[in-house]
Chain A
């Protein structure tokens, strides 16, 4: 029985289609399967295990170029795009129960309509709730406020054994058993297929103001950026962006009108409302074109080392490479020439920094791990993965190589 017919019997033939182009990095999946419910997802996972077909779950597909190549002879892309709906918003309670395939933008719109906001930062075009949780991307508020995983309350997950399990709950404080919600967040679809998430909603700020100023040189830019840290909680994001004329510092203030106005006088800048989306989209850009000869790399270090990260990228990869820095989170996004990638990785490893390659070309996949050096105690991570997915059904090979490798 071919792969498509196996899944067509589970989700209906109209919801199984052939892939016309590479969809999972450079890999063309054997089929794209679109279940409509958690139960159909569970049936697909069980069938995949039985038929020895790998599954790569996908929401909007905006981050499918992340990670390492799939290590399986046959693979389907399990699209969760039919798991939609914003009917689970409870503005009074301040929580939203959202199907995994719901686009972040739609969640934002629905929450805004009732005066609320979720902790997702709209970064990647078309990104969904489930995909964002699975990939746990870094946004411009990183290092300032709580991360997405701290605002996640519960998940509904299809496990590799085909069971549907609830994790966490629908309350804002919970220590009932192990925190599997945090474990699933950022697990890149290897521990289970997220079908629904319960997230905390916060009140929308009264005002949002984005200020900016051009910086005369990099040293001053990073010093000014570090000084922003002294602003109180209304500071919800800061970025340094490389442009044609040098570096531009942008920062976002959100809160009460009177408070934001007062903070604007403390650190003067020009109103730059529209520029923030360029920061968000700059961070969440799609895979760089293969003919550009570059890949997007995310580097991480202590906030005080952000300038060093930037300088290192400049030295090794040249002036256009570092694009955006998140100075309060210790993050630099750089578009690194392919021929400089090994040197960047070696330097990052020596310095004890972190590195993630977004869009690792298949020709470099043998010599580089998209996630950089393995984490300390990677054997424990690998043991955990074997417990969750002993048959390597879920995104095999896609995660950190020392963790996600067939024994």
Chain B
């Protein structure tokens, strides 16, 4: 959670003067494989944060490589100068993972956007990190294939960001998060070495460094290419909207669906505030407004399987008192249902100047109780929450629309955020399901892990980045002794906007 800290970090980070910083930027500009370097005040301002705009850093410069060679050059130059660096894709992350700390150089990977190869026979693709998630699926669609992870930001977010955050999305329930879809990663390590983690044929041996790199939020190195699995497009897809008179009834229906053996490809839940925001926006899809909770259920597979499962879902919906069940009549309506759902954050963002999107996971059967407790905790602080859930996964996204210029409201929002995490951890949950820890929740890691349980994560980090140059100040808190001994501990130089 963001906090106001004393003073603003020096404009040039670790550089003593702006002229030194300019000289360093010029050095980066001259590197092979680097197409552009931005370092004016206005440019740096634009890169102070990612999708979590309430936490800001101060980059030294923004460098745009177009190749692994360019990334290696930047990383080595930073190493020699003692400057940290942080990779960035589309900047859609919601936990401050790409926020530049300690005067870091931003390695902007959006120009590494080529699909290097597609192997339809073995259903794999090798791509650069700046390829946009939806573009990859579009490119392989004519082959009857797709890339399974589909975060709401898929029209903008990149594969590099998906790997960094182990992104999920609505269809995680059936197909798993990014980690299940990555075979190998070409990575520039913090010392500038280029290595492959995993193998393109999937038969890697040694430790699963691929697995630990995915979701490491850019703290172990910079991705320069990924070989990913592609999945066949299902023969049949059926999408249903099911309206309920209460959030609890909808949550019960979710548990019933899973218990019945039906495994939907997506099982999304929206509360009435979210529905109202969507229907008041340009993304309106005709969602029913007279319900307290709405399930978006997608079934896919063979035609026979989908028909069976749809009957089962309709039976469960009726048993749980559904007010309305609507099946998408055609592909256009199905896409409209999804466009509205995936635009929910945008729609909620219209309600107030700022939107704080939370992300936590609890055991699915605890959802009704947890949502109720969160709503109560927020109400006690005078805050209204709109809930959006990947309900089949137990993944909650409580959304808070607020105005950060109102210091009192911003402080209450901050406290509600802490309440949410405590409620979820108390319920046996975890701090994040898909947005990551980043800068935002680093402080909260001790809520979940004992000090000695954080140590193995530090061992992993030290093996990759012993000098702590790669996206410092993220994910893993400093050892308790350091936290208690140094009030200006690393990572606390983020400028809070509260």
Q: Give the B-binding residues of A (Cβ under 8 A).
A: 90-95, 115, 143, 146-147, 149-150, 159, 163, 165-167, 169-180, 182-183, 185-187, 191-192, 202-206, 230, 232-234, 255-256, 258-259, 261-263, 300-305, 329-331, 353-354, 356, 371-372, 374-378, 380-381, 383-388, 399-400, 403
Contact = CB atoms under 8 A, between A and B. Distances in A.
Nearest to A115: B261
Interface string B449-467: 1101111110111111000
Contacts of A165: 450, 452-453, 455-456
A203 B259 contact: yes
A49 to B, nearest CB: 15
Contact of B206 (A176, A256, A303, A375): A375
Nearest to A370: B205
Interface string B183-225: 0000001000101110111111111110110111000000000
B72 to A, nearest CB: 14
Contacts of A400: 205-206
B13 interface: no
A292 B212 CA distance: 40
B459 A387 contact: yes
A230 B208 CA distance: 29
A376 B122 contact: no
Given A203-B259, A232-B234, A259-B302, A143 B428 contact: no
A354 B456 contact: no
Contact of B208 (A182, A256, A374): A182
Contact of A206 (B235, B261, B463, B475): B261
B207 A381 contact: yes
Contact of A179 (B211, B260, B464): B211
Interface in B20-59: none
B217 to A, nearest CB: 8
Contacts of B445: 176-177
Contacts of B176: 146, 150
Most chain A CB neighbours (cut-off 10 Å) among B196, B430, B475: B430
A173 B259 contact: no
Contacts of B180: 146-147, 150
B205 A258 contact: no
A255 B305 contact: yes
B107 interface: no
Given A115-B261, A304-B122, A232 B457 contact: no
Nearest to B177: A173
Contacts of A263: 302
Interface string B416-460: 000000000000111111111100000001001110111111011
A167 B179 contact: no
A377 B365 CA distance: 43
Contacts of B203: 300-301, 330-331, 353-354
Nearest to B392: A172
Contact of B361 (A149, A163, A174): A174
Interface in B148-180: 165-166, 168, 172, 176-177, 179-180
B215 A378 contact: no
A169 B121 CA distance: 36
Contact of A93 (B121, B365, B449): B365
Contacts of A255: 301, 305
A399 B196 CA distance: 19
B11 interface: no
B55 to A, nearest CB: 18
Interface residues of B, number: 87
Q: Is the interface of A mostly helix, strand, loop or mixed?
A: loop
B390 interface: yes
A115 B428 CA distance: 24
B476 interface: yes
A91 B259 CA distance: 8
Contacts of A403: 206-207
Contact of B456 (A147, A167, A383): A167
Contact of A234 (B216, B301, B457): B301
Contacts of A170: 363, 428
A98 to B, nearest CB: 16
Interface in B243-266: 255, 258-263
28 contacts: A94-B364, A95-B363, A159-B455, A165-B450, A165-B452, A167-B456, A171-B430, A173-B177, A173-B390, A174-B433, A175-B434, A175-B437, A179-B179, A183-B460, A191-B207, A205-B261, A256-B304, A256-B305, A258-B305, A259-B301, A259-B304, A259-B305, A354-B201, A376-B195, A376-B197, A380-B463, A380-B464, A384-B459
A171 B362 CA distance: 6
Interface string B389-401: 0100111000000
